[in-house]
Chain A
Amino acid sequence: MDLYQELILEHSKRPQHAGLREPFEAEVHHVNPTCGDEVTMRIHVTGEGSEAIVEDISYDALGCSISMASTSILAEESIGRPLTEVLTTYEAMKAMLTSKGEDPGDEEVIGDGVALSGVAQYPARVKCALLGWMAFTDALHQSGRQAALTQLEEGTS
């Protein structure tokens, strides 16, 4: 099955950067009410505006291989990178996942995330693949970084 690429299975079996760590500015808990998948996520972001850096994303997740892998890839691709770049990755991931297969995903932008391109064929699983990202953007809100998100929305609208 093309949905379950080796990379996804690896990430889901050995989630990268898993576990909850300090320091953090926000901790959020997200669930997918249709299947009961859960993720608790902490983020640690330093610097302001375009200088902001995602220092750490730590999490405790329970879920299907798609949601586990997606959260693991999110952490792997984002830790240590500028927040603006991470948000660009988020936009590209979301576009790919909701494209019904038209957007194969750009490895340059979303890295290992391209392994999740098969999910776009299964609308019921898109939520699984976005669970970690929803937690991440919510945590940005909670930690007072709405500005970065608003900028993103303006940029794409």
Chain B
Amino acid sequence: MTAEPFTTEEVARIRADFPILARTVRAGAPLVYLDSGATSHKPVQVLDAERDFYERLNSAPHRGAHALSEEATAAYEGARERIAAFIGAQAQDVVFTKNATEALNLAAYAFSNSPHPGIPGSERFTLGAGDEVLVTEMEHHANLVPWQELCRRTGATLRWIPVTDEGRLDLATLDELVTERTKVVAVVHASNVLGTLNPIETIVERAHEVGALVVLDACQSVPHLAIDVADLGVDLLAFSGHKMFGPSGIGVLWGRRELLEAMPPFLTGGSMIETVRMEGSTYAPPPQRFEAGVPMTAQAIGLAAAVDYINELDIKRIHAHELALVDRLLAGLATRPWVTVVGPTDLESRGGTVAFVVDGVHAHDVGQVLDNAGVAVRVGHHCAWPLHRRFKVAATTRASFAAYNTVDEVDALLEALDRVPQIFGVAS
């Protein structure tokens, strides 16, 4: 059975959970928030969960034997279990980080020129001259710059999969790009600009043929699609809590158990050790090995509440709802010849973001006109500068959707957009 978009009444009920959606902006315009790809809003259920932690349980988990610390530990680890279940994973394979950026850096910093003497199996994470790291031309800077830096540190070579004019990965040369030299393939699941959903199975299959690890940037897919890490077949996967109704300051790195066990630490210090002597230290097993310092406990609990919230809405319906909004926006843009969509113009393998340019008008100016009507979109290169270079545009305007967006909001965007050609004197 295919999932149905939310009805008008259902969306109204969802919206009532998000207090911020009731506010106005600028000169009293109702807020039309189409920037959930940057960060989503938080329902009261998430705000309450965080507040409840501070009011009842506040203390440092895993540090101390007093009652509060025990309860905080149970809440923190319980959150890990619910978040793990959400992506079809086991709790011990879920590492909490500050955000996806930190999770991807954690993965990249695990690699170095030589194995870690105290961590059996860490040869898996050595890299040197002659080795290659493969990324794509549509990566967010968070899944590009850490790999550039890794290559600089180790002497490995960075290569990338090109993007077609339609905004999809050009996999025609995949077999030449992924070779025995390839050690890591780092790829985005759903593009934060184009909306493209990449064929991960194809990439995983080829990467695993040559023994390369696949790192998936799932920032724009975990909030919107049913994800099962076992089905995807990737080796490491990263996402941020704040894009899925969760608090800021919490992200996740999931990894295959044997990999996490062989992985050297990134941030070091308290809570991640096994024994410490002046001469040297040994490290705790995962996930603690990767969670140095007092963790973001309230944020983890908030993210677990967000996951519960999504489960209640049903993520399949969230995806169907967002696709219906994308469909309406694409149809509306198609009737405006002065607009060019950057990315796939159909619903095939697509997520909930749409990027476009108004011919002859800079995205910053488009965004300003929309903002004046209360419509919040993202303008710029969206941390995907090479992708924008690929399409020979300095910047795009991007609308991105969440469960709380309505058909009327898509129409409000289109209506505000119609003022752009007139204000800037370009042909409409």
Q: A residues near B, CB below 8 A?
A: 1, 3-4, 9, 13, 34-38, 62-66, 68, 122, 125, 128
Contacts and interface: CB of A to CB of B under 8 A. Distances in A.
B380 A34 contact: yes
Given A9-B424, A9-B425, A13-B425, A62 B368 contact: no
Given A35-B381, A36-B380, A4 B364 contact: no
B316 interface: no
A1 B425 contact: no
Contact of A65 (B362, B379, B381, B394): B362
A9 B421 CA distance: 12
Contact of A3 (B362, B368, B381, B385): B368
Nearest to A62: B394
B362 A64 contact: yes
Interface string B141-173: 000000000000000000000000000000000
5 contacts: A1-B423, A36-B381, A64-B363, A65-B365, A65-B424
In the complex, which range does the number of interface residues on chain B fall in?
10 to 19
B368 A36 contact: no
B362 A4 contact: no
Contacts of A62: 394
B365 A35 contact: no
Nearest to B426: A13
Contact of B363 (A9, A35, A125): A35
A35 B372 contact: no
B395 interface: yes
Interface in B357-389: 361-365, 368-369, 372, 379-381, 385, 388
Contacts of A3: 368
A122 B368 contact: yes
A1 B369 contact: yes
Contacts of A4: 365, 368, 423-424
Contacts of B361: 65
Contacts of B372: 1
A38 B369 contact: no
Interface of B: 361-365, 368-369, 372, 379-381, 385, 388, 394-395, 423-425
Contacts of A38: 394
A143 to B, nearest CB: 28
Contacts of B423: 1, 4, 9
- In this complex, the member of A4, A9, A64 whose beta carbon has the largest number of chain B beta carbons within 10 angstroms is A64
Given A35-B394, A38-B394, A66-B364, 16 more contacts: A1-B369, A3-B368, A4-B365, A4-B368, A4-B423, A9-B425, A34-B380, A35-B363, A35-B364, A35-B380, A37-B364, A62-B394, A63-B362, A64-B395, A65-B424, A122-B368
B370 to A, nearest CB: 11
Contacts of B395: 35-37, 64
A128 B367 CA distance: 14
Contacts of A64: 362-365, 395
A125 B368 CA distance: 9
B364 A125 contact: yes
A17 to B, nearest CB: 20
Contacts of A36: 380-381, 385, 388, 394-395
Contacts of B369: 1
- In this complex, the member of B362, B369, B424 whose beta carbon has the largest number of chain A beta carbons within 10 angstroms is B362
Nearest to B396: A36
B425 A37 contact: no
Contact of A128 (B364, B388, B394): B364
A124 to B, nearest CB: 9
A38 B372 CA distance: 25
A137 to B, nearest CB: 22
B99 to A, nearest CB: 18
A61 B169 CA distance: 31
Contact of A63 (B379, B381, B388, B394): B394
B379 A35 contact: yes
Nearest to B361: A65
Nearest to B388: A36
Contacts of B385: 36
B163 to A, nearest CB: 17
Contacts of B363: 35, 64
Nearest to B393: A36
A66 B362 CA distance: 10
List the 3 closest pairs (A to B, CB-CB), nearest first. A64-B364, A64-B362, A35-B380
Contacts of A65: 361-362, 364-365, 424
B5 to A, nearest CB: 33
Nearest to B423: A4
A129 to B, nearest CB: 11
A37 B365 contact: no
Contacts of B425: 9, 13
Nearest to A37: B394
A62 B388 CA distance: 14
Contacts of A9: 423-425
B417 to A, nearest CB: 14
Contacts of A35: 363-364, 379-381, 394-395
Contacts of A122: 368
